[in-house]
């Protein structure tokens, strides 16, 4: 099903959670709404579901306005962050709930309900736990029950609010892969909300990066990672060095590369000299023997794994700069803590300081 979000604005009392958003989601897509807490991602998901109603704008399902329709009539499968299972019902009854509340004329027979629930139970690999109560299950199992319950009503779209938020790292990774396979098998249009950039980039076909009730960028994981549209996207996706620099006549010369400064919002660059920030990915940084470029000192080395992460200090740059080298390159250089080296950049993006977002990078709070 095609889902279209058209000029949606949502206000709570005095606070505007969504500022006229536009978004189109294609059938069978798996889309991530990514952003820090308070960015409006969950509100957008709830507006699409019909759990909140937009003050302005429309939600179109396959071209027809779903705005007036209540959540129960939209046939959306919604998986809540804390699962929201019915505690007094068994796993079986939880999954059967959506089938049992159908008006009698249209309800399937008890034996059909049983068949459907059992097939869903085996889909989410919980056959043996049908008679358990939710409190007797682990977090990952509850998540799968919530998913099976949402799928029971044969939804036209699956909406998941922070689906892996409450799980520990290992279960999260397993469930993530499992969900991706499930999505591919069923071909159901799915949207999930997350604040975890790694999760969004690994799982989604397209990522919608949100900030303060607005969409910063929409694109495939490669697009948003390789060419972030705004400083915010750079900061939020993380894994990037932010280097303060001076922009002169729209240009910066940083560690051996010349970069043209850009503005993301179409504003013109201030003439003359101005402060700016350069964003450099760790894998776009090269370390050379001392004397072959900008001097730097090795401060920390983490060499376990396929790539070596080296932190170096550069004079006049505040945080340590992280560089990622191949294992071979690291061994060739023979890097040690305290060693003098030279630093060079292969690529960088420069924005004027005025375009810089307020909050620093890093995983947003829950």
Partner 1 sequence: MSSAASQRSWLTPSVVPGFGMTMGFTLVYLSLIVLLPLAALVVRAGGLGWDQFVAVVTAPRAVAAYRLSFGAAFIAAAINIVFGVLVAWVLVRYRFPFKRLVDGLVDLPFALPTAVAGIALATLFSKNGWIGSVVEPLGLKVAFTPLGVMVALVFIGLPFVVRTVQPVLQDLDKEVEEAAASLGADRFQTFRHVILPSILPAAVTGFALAFARAIGEYGSVIFIAGNLPMKSEIVPLLIIIKLEQFDYRGAAAIGAAMLAASFVLLLVINMLQRWSRQRMGG
**Chain positions contacting partner 1, by CB under 8 A:** 49-51, 70-73, 76-78, 80-82, 84-88, 97-98, 101-102, 133-136, 146, 149-150, 152-153
Which residue number, 129 or 312, has a Cβ lying nearer to partner 1? 129
Return the number of the residue (98 or 221) whose C-beta is nearest partner 1: 98
**φ, ψ (nearest 5 deg) of residue 87:** -70, -25
Report phi then psi at 12, rounded to 5. Answer: -115, 115
Give least dist CB 32 to partner 1, A.
20
What gap in Å lies between CA 33 and CA 207, rounded to an integer? 6
The answer for residues whose C-beta is within 8 angstroms of residue 240's C-beta and 6 or more apart is 234, 279, 280, 281, 282, 361
Of 78 and 279, the one with the shorter C-beta distance to partner 1 is 78
φ, ψ of residue 354 to 5 degrees: the values are: -65, -20
* Nearest C-alpha neighbor of 162 from the set 46, 257, 13: 46
Whichever of 71 and 297 has its CB closer to partner 1, that residue is 71
Structure tokens at 239: 């894994």
Q: Which is nearer to partner 1, 100 or 177 (CB)?
A: 100
Q: How far is the CB of 64 from partner 1 (least distance, A)?
A: 19
21/99 with CB nearer partner 1? 99
Of 97 and 178, the one with the shorter C-beta distance to partner 1 is 97
Q: Are 153 and 77 in contact (CB under 8 A)?
A: yes
Neighbours of 129 (CB within 10 A): 18
- Least distance in Å: CB of 80 to partner 1? 5
CB of 220 to partner 1, least distance (A): 29
Please tell me the distance from the alpha carbon of residue 23 to that of residue 21, in angstroms, as a whole number.
7
Smallest CA-to-CA distance from 29 within 283, 213, 221 is with 221
User: Whole-number minimum distance, CB 209 to partner 1, in Å?
Assistant: 26
The number of helices, as runs of H, and strands, as runs of E, in the chain is: 9, 20
How crowded is the C-beta side of 238, counted as CA atoms within 13 Å? Answer: 14
Q: How far is the CB of 159 from partner 1 (least distance, A)?
A: 9
Closest to 343 measured CA to CA, from 254, 238, 232: 254
Closer CB to partner 1, residue 158 or residue 224?
Answer: 158
DSSP string, 103-165: -TTTPPPHHHHHHHHHHHHHHTT-GGGTT--GGGS-HHHHHHHHHHHHHHT--SEEEEESTTT
Taking the least distance from each CB to partner 1, the nearer of 49 and 343 is 49
Q: Which is nearer to partner 1, 54 or 312 (CB)?
A: 54
Question: In sequence order, what E strands does the chain have?
Answer: 3-12, 15-25, 30-34, 56-61, 64-65, 76-79, 157-161, 189-194, 206-211, 214-219, 241-248, 251-254, 257-260, 273-280, 285-289, 294-302, 307-314, 321-326, 340-345, 349-352
Task: Provide, rounded to whole angstroms, the least separation between the CB of residue 137 and partner 1.
Answer: 10
Q: What is the closest distance, in whole angstroms, from the C-beta atom of residue 156 to partner 1 in the complex? A: 12
């Amino acid at each position: 099903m095609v889902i279209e979000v058209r000029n949606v604005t949502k206000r709570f009392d005095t606070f505007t959670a969504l500022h006229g958003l536009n978004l189109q989601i294609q059938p069978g897509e798996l889309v991530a709404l990514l952003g820090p807490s308070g960015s409006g991602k969950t509100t957008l998901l709830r507006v699409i579901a019909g759990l909140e109603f937009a003050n302005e704008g429309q939600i179109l399902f396959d071209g027809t306005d779903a705005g007036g329709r209540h959540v129960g009539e939209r046939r959306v499968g919604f998986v809540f962050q804390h699962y929201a299972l019915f505690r007094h019902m068994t796993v079986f009854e939880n999954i059967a709930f959506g089938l049992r509340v159908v008006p009698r004329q249209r309800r399937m027979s008890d034996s059909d309900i049983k068949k459907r629930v059992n097939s869903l139970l085996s889909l989410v690999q919980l056959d043996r736990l049908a008679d358990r109560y939710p409190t007797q299950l682990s977090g990952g199992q509850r998540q799968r029950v919530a998913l099976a319950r949402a799928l029971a009503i044969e939804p036209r779209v699956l909406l998941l609010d922070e689906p892996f938020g409450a799980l520990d790292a290992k279960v999260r990774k397993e469930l993530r892969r499992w969900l991706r396979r499930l999505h591919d098998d069923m071909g159901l249009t799915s949207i999930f909300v997350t604040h975890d950039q790694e999760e969004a980039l690994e799982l989604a076909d397209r990522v919608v990066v949100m900030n303060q009730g607005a969409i910063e960028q929409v694109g495939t994981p490669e697009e948003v990672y390789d060419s972030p549209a705004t400083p915010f996207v750079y900061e939020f996706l993380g894994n990037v060095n932010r280097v303060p620099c001076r922009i002169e006549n729209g240009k910066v010369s940083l560690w051996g590369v010349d970069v043209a400064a850009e503005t993301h919002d179409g504003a013109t660059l201030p003439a003359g000299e101005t402060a700016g920030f350069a964003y450099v990915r760790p894998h776009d940084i090269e370390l050379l023997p001392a004397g072959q470029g900008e001097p730097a000192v090795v401060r920390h080395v983490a060499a376990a794994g396929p790539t070596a992460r080296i932190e170096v200090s550069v004079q006049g740059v505040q945080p340590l700069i992280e560089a990622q080298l191949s294992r071979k390159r690291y061994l060739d250089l023979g890097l040690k803590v305290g060693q003098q080296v030279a630093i060079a950049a292969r690529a960088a993006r420069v924005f004027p300081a005025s375009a810089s977002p307020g909050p620093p990078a890093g995983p947003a709070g829950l």
